[in-house]
């Protein structure tokens, strides 16, 4: 069961409602900057994790400015679209409401709050559109920092993320040529413990690094593990399948 730290109480709580039903994820983001994109990315991961656990989700976005630009940047980052909160009415019988917003914002009066620490760029100006030239690298770089810690990205962090993503895609393409094997039970358990424990994405990435480097693990098992994890990560790890490796 996915448990998330509620910033309103400081206690971990189930993100899945006690009674089966819809979870509404309400996202609030400012203008087009890295912190807003990190908020949207966190909400995207939350929605994916809930859906992987069988929980139906309805997600909506409130953005006081640059909402269209935010939406375009989100699509580039493989963040699935949110409904515009101005176009929908609340109260569709949801069993739980989870708010995702920057840690600097005031907590809501009710519901669970997922707080996201700021993100920024340590370089000559923060041009978000330029950072989106390699959206996969930016997504991986943001995933690599614990959500509660400020994410200060620079050219080195993006270059490292780009290399890692490329290596993993090449590996998946190579492993896909071998006989398929199931995800090892212990690996599946480690992945679920990580992402169901307050969306520990650095923990998920650490498991993948172990799987890629562990001697003796069948390549078919590596292949299935990376595809399984990518249902949450959305890093297009199968992007090189079919290409010569």
| 210-228 mean pLDDT | 97
Q: How far apart are the first and last CA of the chain?
A: 38
What mean pLDDT value characterizes the chain? 91
pLDDT at res. 26: 93
Residue 76 neighbours by CB under 8 Å, 6+ apart: 132, 135
Position 88 confidence tier, pLDDT thresholds 50, 70, 90: low
Domain boundaries, the chain: 3-135+145-153, 160-233
- Residue 161 near residue 138, CB atoms below 8 Å: yes
The C-alpha atoms of residue 118 and residue 137 are separated, in whole angstroms, by: 18
| Strand pairing report for 23-28 and 96-102 | parallel
CB burial of residue 237 (10 Å; 0-12, 13-18, 19+): buried
What lies within 8 Å, CB to CB, of 94 at 6+ separation is: 21, 22, 23, 24, 58
| DSSP H or E segment with residue 25 | strand 23-28
Higher pLDDT among residues 213 and 243, named by residue:
213
Cα dihedral value 154, 160, 166, 172, nearest 10: -130
Residue 46 to residue 113: CA distance in whole angstroms = 12
With a threshold of 0.85, does the pTM exceed it?
yes
Residues pairing with 100 in the sheet: 27, 114
pLDDT score at 239: 94
CATH code at 160-233: 1.20.120
How far is the C-alpha of 72 from the C-alpha of 75, rounded, in Å?
5
| pLDDT above 60 (res 90) | no
- Please say whether the beta carbons of 53 and 17 come within 8 A: no
């Amino acid at each position: 069961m996915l448990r998330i730290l509620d910033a309103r109480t400081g206690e971990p709580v189930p993100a899945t409602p006690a009674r089966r039903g819809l979870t509404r994820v309400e996202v609030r983001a400012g203008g087009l900057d890295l912190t807003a994109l990190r908020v949207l990315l966190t909400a995207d991961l939350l929605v994916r994790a809930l859906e992987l656990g069988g929980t139906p989700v309805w997600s909506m976005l409130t953005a006081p400015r640059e909402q269209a630009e935010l939406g375009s940047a989100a699509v580039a980052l493989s963040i699935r679209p949110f409904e515009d909160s101005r176009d929908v009415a609340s109260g569709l019988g949801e069993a739980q409401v989870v708010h995702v917003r920057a840690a600097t914002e005031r907590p809501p009066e009710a519901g669970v709050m997922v707080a996201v620490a700021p993100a920024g760029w340590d370089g000559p100006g923060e041009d978000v559109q330029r950072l989106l030239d390699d959206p996969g690298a930016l997504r991986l770089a943001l995933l690599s920092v614990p959500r509660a810690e400020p994410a200060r990205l620079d050219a080195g962090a993006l270059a490292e993320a780009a290399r890692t993503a490329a290596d993993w895609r090449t590996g998946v393409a190579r492993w896909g040529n071998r006989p398929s094997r199931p995800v090892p039970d212990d690996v599946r358990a480690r992945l679920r413990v990580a992402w169901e424990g307050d969306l520990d994405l650095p923990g998920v990435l650490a498991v993948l690094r172990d799987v890629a480097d562990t001697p003796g693990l069948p390549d078919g098992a590596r292949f299935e593990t990376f595809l399984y994890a990518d249902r949450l990560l959305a890093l297009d790890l199968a992007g090189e399948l079919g290409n010569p490796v």
